[in-house]
A and B are shown apart, each in its own frame.
Chain A
Amino acid sequence: MSPMGEIRLERVFDAAPEEVFEAWGDAESLATWMCPGSDMESATVEVDFRVGGRFRIVMHDPERDYAQHGEYLEIDAPKRIVLTWVSEWIPTGEAATRVSVTLEPELGGKTRLVLVHDGLPEGDAYVGHPDGWNTILTKLGGALASQKETA
């Protein structure tokens, strides 16, 4: 296996773990914060929040839609959520990336959130080698690939 990228972010929220957890599992909440920042934009969210259930989030902006989907691998309220993550608009190849969210209670009713996103493609393979892209885009077989080939 080639080494894959991983990112890790930590945040403390001024809310109880239950509240933070709910914001990750509820379609209406997700639509509020899982979308680009400025107020004219929105997201369409479908969520089946259970292990083995799937989600799909489509972020809308004036230029195009950005869709992502995945499956819940682990749900342990109000402590941990693990899901697969595929951004349909970037060439991540066949590897599904994985996001895990861990919540820990902090003093004062706060919550520490640790987000780890791993299995990310290494930039070189995607930005550095046009041949690599062609293979990936062909595999994708989606809009990007057909657009490219007819161009």
Chain B
Amino acid sequence: MVEQAVGLDETFAALADPTRREILARLRRGSANVGELAEPFDMSLAAVSKHLGVLERAGLIHREAHGRERRCHLRARPLRAASAWTEAYRSFWDERLDALDSHLRKRRARKQK
């Protein structure tokens, strides 16, 4: 999936979208199905499902089958820990420092040639 292939941390990318943040806020009040989540938005169920997919891949929600419907729940771990942003920034810097490390290695290799 294109959305998944991008290098920026998934949690960060997931939180960067206002619709997705609003969906998370709704789920804080309790679980909901796609139809309920789509209500406040002027968008198709398919579009909302796509947002839910991004949130699920980022580990922010999980979807569970309840009989014939699938309900979305907020995943406690990334959000309950006081700060989702803090966690998102941690991954962001972790990735950047990995990139810095490989930049320094490449530079050294070039020098040694």
Contacts and interface: CB of A to CB of B under 8 A. Distances in A.
Given A33-B96, A36-B8, A63-B3, A6 B15 contact: no
Please tell me the size bucket of the interface on B: 35 or more
B94 interface: yes
Main secondary structure of the interface of B (DSSP, over half): helix
Interface string B57-77: 000000000000000000000
Interface of B: 2-3, 5-8, 12, 15-16, 18, 21-22, 24-25, 28, 41-42, 79, 81-87, 89-90, 93-105, 107-108
Contact of B82 (A29, A35, A122, A129): A122
B94 A37 contact: no
Contacts of B21: 126-127, 133
B11 to A, nearest CB: 11
Main secondary structure of the interface of A (DSSP, over half): mixed
